[in-house]
Amino acid sequence: MPASAITCDGELAVSEKQRRQRPHRPLPPELERYRKISIHEAAAIRGVSIDSFRRHFRHLIEQVSPRRQAVTLGKLLDEPESKAA
């Protein structure tokens, strides 16, 4: 650990980013369905592999940023159950 990370009191210094972060608050129940979840979480909810989710539920996947894809929780829960599984 670098010496600059320890204050004169011997405690660890807190970075600027950690101080600026707001506390996590859960969404109200009426907004929970609009939450974006990762493809990994969506695949776990449906009980399929990530590759199968990408193949069979491509219409639910949204490109949120150039590097991130997400699924809206409400749309995933509205999808009918598969009869093949």
Question: What are the residue ranges of helices labelled H in 12-79?
Answer: 16-20, 39-46, 50-56, 73-78
What is the predicted pLDDT for the residue at 26? 81
The predicted-structure confidence for 51-83, as pLDDT tens digits, reads as follows 999 999 999 999 999 999 999 999 999 988 865
Say how far apart CA 36 and CA 63 lie, in whole Å.
11
pLDDT in tens, 10-53: 556 666 666 677 777 887 888 889 999 999 999 999 999 999 99
- Domain borders along the chain are 23-78
Q: Is the pTM higher than 0.75?
A: no
